[in-house]
Amino acid sequence: MKQLEEKILAEGIVLSNTVLKVDSFINHQMDPVLMKEMGKEFARRFQHKKITKVLTIESSGIAPAIMTALELEVPMIFARKRKSLTLREGLITAKVYSFTKKEENEITVAEKFVSPNDQILIIDDFLANGQAALGLMEIVKQVGAKVAGIGIVIEKSFQDGRQRLNDAGIQVESLARIASLENGKVEFVKEEALAGGM
């Protein structure tokens, strides 16, 4: 998505070879007009999938997910993150390990909001190792519902999350795919590489 790539080039801050800071428009301060455009784009890319619900994880996934759900005219659910849970009644849970924070969280969704008939679109802000997306997929699987696709705002294509999700046979759509952050510079995956089935 050109508009997002341009914003990343203009405002993204490369902190290291693996870390891109986008807190001026994605995950602390947010650009609502860009969020709306991203929601439209996700809706367009998954319009053939008969999505019944959008699922994300707090906190940074909520804005792109609500905009996508608005376009698709379906409810949105956000999974909650907790260090560990004592009360599990009525909750579906999965474990998610964060490589960045080096900690494991439990993510939860209330059972009553997901049914086996649901076709679920998972939305998240970042895809790196795929742990959050795999945790959300695990939750959908436990209910017997279907993961209709995964929409990612920014994919770090140099990490292995995308491959893991592809291996699971899921349609993954990332609005910006970053090939490299080396030498303090953002490089996107080239269109030709994409067309070649990268």
Binding-site entries for xanthine: 20, 27, 156
Neighbouring residues of 163: CB distance < 8 A, sequence distance ≥ 6:
none
- Annotated binding residues for 5-phospho-alpha-D-ribose 1-diphosphate, written as ranges, equal 128-132
- Residue 80 near a copy of itself by CB under 8 A: yes
Out of 26, 78, 128, 174, point to the residue binding a copy of itself (CB under 8 A). Answer: 78
DSSP 112: G
Calculate helix-pair angle for 2-11, 32-45, nearest 10 degrees.
140
User: Rounded to the nearest 5°, which phi and psi values hold at 183?
Assistant: 55, 30
Among 18, 36, 111, 142, binds a copy of itself (CB under 8 A): 36
Q: Is residue 69 a contact residue for a copy of itself (CB under 8 A)?
A: yes
Provide the CB-side half-sphere exposure for 74 (13 A, CA): 24
Q: Is 30 in the site for a copy of itself (CB under 8 A)?
A: yes
Separation in Å, CA 126 to CA 9, 16, 38, 95, 143? 16, 16, 13, 18, 25
Q: Decide if residue 189 touches a copy of itself (CB under 8 A).
A: no
Rank residues 145 and 165 by Cβ distance to a copy of itself and give the closer one: 145
Residues of span 98-137 touching a copy of itself by CB under 8 A: 109-110, 113
Contacts of 68 (CB under 8 A, 6+ apart): 38, 39, 42, 43, 54, 76, 121, 123, 151
Under the binding rule (CB under 8 A), the answer on residue 89 touching a copy of itself is no
Instruction: Please report, as ranges, the residues that interact with a copy of itself according to CB under 8 A.
Output: 23-25, 28-33, 35-36, 58-59, 62-63, 66-67, 69-70, 73-78, 80, 109-110, 113
